[in-house]
C-alpha cells in the first residue's frame, strides 16, 4: 500500500522523503562512527586467538607424538639389551667358531641398534625442547591476546550498550521511511550513498554550491531545483540536490552591489 501511495506523491514530497531518510541514515552513520574500528579490532583479535589456539593444539600433538617415539625407542633399547644377554648366554654353549661368530654379529647388530636408538632419543628430545619453547611463547602470546580481546570487547559492549537502543529506533525509522519511496529512487539513493565517502546521497544547495562536493551550481540549475519539479543530481558528484528550504536552511539572498557612478571628466 505504501509503495502505491508513492506513485501519487509529488516530486517535492519524494525529495522531502529522501532527505528525511538521509537525516536518519546519517544519524545511524554517526553512531557507528563512534564505535570506530573497535568491531574490526575485536574480530581480528578473535581470529588471532583462534589461530594461536590451533597452533598450540598442533604443537601439543607434535610433542606428544615425539614423546611416543622416545618411548618406542626406549622399548627397542630394552629389547636389544635382552637380545644381547640372550646371545651372550648362547655363546657359552656353542659347538664351533661359526656359531660363535654368528652370535657375535647379532650382538654387534643389537649394540648398533641401541646406539642408533639413543641417538634418535636425543634428536627427539631436542625437537621437543625446541617445540616446547615455541609453544610456551605461543601460550604467553595467547594469554596477552585474550586479555586484550577482553578489554576491547568490554569497551565495545559499553559503547553498544549506550547506543544500541537509539540505533534500533533509528533503523526502524529508516525502514519505515524507505517504504514511502519508490523502488527506483530508493535504489539510486542507496547506490549514491555506497559510493559517497561521507554517506551523503541527498544534499541541499548551499551558497550556490553542492552541499556534497561544494562545486558551484549554475543559476538556471538552481532555479530548477527550487521549483521541485524533477529530481536533479549534481553533475560533478552525482548526489541528489534539494532546495535548502527543504533542509530547513535559511536562505539569505545576496543583495546586488550598487553601481558606481562614473566620474565626470574635466574638459
Q: How confident is the model at residue 146 (pLDDT cuts 50, 70, 90)?
A: very high
Lowest mean pLDDT segment, chosen from 31-45, 69-83, 120-134, 248-262: 248-262
CATH code at position 24: 1.10.287.1490
Q: Dihedral (C-alpha) 84, 87, 92, 98: value to the nearest 10 degrees?
A: -130
Closest CA to 224 of 243, 196, 199: 243
Q: Tell me how far apart the alpha carbons of residues 21 and 210 are, in angstroms, rounded to a whole number.
A: 19
| Shared-domain flag, residues 42 and 159 | yes
Is residue 257, in this structure, part of any structural domain at all? no
| Shared-domain flag, residues 107 and 74 | yes
List the grid coordinates of 90.
648362547
Q: Tell me how far apart the alpha carbons of residues 105 and 122 are, in angstroms, rounded to a whole number.
A: 26
Contact 22, 192 (CB under 8 A): no
Q: Could you report the per-residue pLDDT of 189-240, keeping only the tens digit for each? A: 999 999 988 899 999 999 999 999 999 999 999 999 999 989 999 999 999 9
Contact 205, 245 (CB under 8 A): no
| Shared-domain flag, residues 26 and 41 | no
What is the DSSP code string of 124-146? HHHHHHHHHHHHHHHHHHHHHHH
Q: Which domain holds residue 135?
A: 36-163
pTM over 0.75: no
Q: How confident is the model at residue 263 (pLDDT cuts 50, 70, 90)?
A: low
Amino acid at each position: 500500500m505504501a509503495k502505491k501511495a508513492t506513485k501519487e506523491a509529488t516530486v517535492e514530497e519524494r525529495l522531502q522523503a529522501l532527505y528525511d531518510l538521509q537525516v536518519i541514515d546519517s544519524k545511524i552513520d554517526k553512531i557507528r562512527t563512534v564505535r570506530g574500528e573497535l568491531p574490526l579490532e575485536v574480530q581480528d583479535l578473535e581470529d588471532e586467538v583462534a589461530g594461536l589456539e590451533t597452533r598450540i593444539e598442533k604443537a601439543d600433538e607434535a610433542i606428544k607424538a615425539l614423546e611416543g617415539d622416545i618411548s618406542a625407542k626406549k622399548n627397542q633399547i630394552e629389547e636389544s639389551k635382552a637380545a644381547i644377554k640372550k646371545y651372550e648366554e648362547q655363546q657359552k654353549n656353542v659347538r664351533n667358531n661359526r656359531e660363535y661368530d654368528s652370535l657375535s654379529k647379532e650382538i654387534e647388530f643389537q649394540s648398533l641398534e641401541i646406539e642408533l636408538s639413543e641417538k634418535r632419543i636425543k634428536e627427539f628430545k631436542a625437537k621437543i625442547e625446541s617445540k616446547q619453547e615455541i609453544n610456551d611463547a605461543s601460550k604467553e602470546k595467547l594469554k596477552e591476546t585474550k586479555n586484550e580481546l577482553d578489554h576491547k570487547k568490554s569497551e565495545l559492549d559499553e559503547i553498544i550498550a549506550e547506543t544500541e537502543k537509539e540505533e534500533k529506533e533509528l533503523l526502524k525509522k529508516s525502514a519505515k521511511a524507505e517504504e514511502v519511496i519508490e523502488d527506483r529512487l530508493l535504489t539510486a539513493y542507496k547506490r549514491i550513498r555506497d559510493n559517497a565517502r561521507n554517506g551523503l546521497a541527498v544534499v541541499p544547495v548551499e551558497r550556490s554550491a553542492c552541499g556534497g562536493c561544494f562545486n558551484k551550481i549554475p543559476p538556471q540549475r538552481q532555479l530548477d531545483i527550487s521549483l521541485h519539479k524533477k529530481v536533479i543530481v549534481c553533475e560533478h558528484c552525482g548526489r541528489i540536490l534539494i532546495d535548502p528550504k527543504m533542509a530547513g536552511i535559511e536562505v539569505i539572498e545576496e543583495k546586488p552591489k550598487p553601481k558606481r557612478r562614473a566620474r565626470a571628466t574635466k574638459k
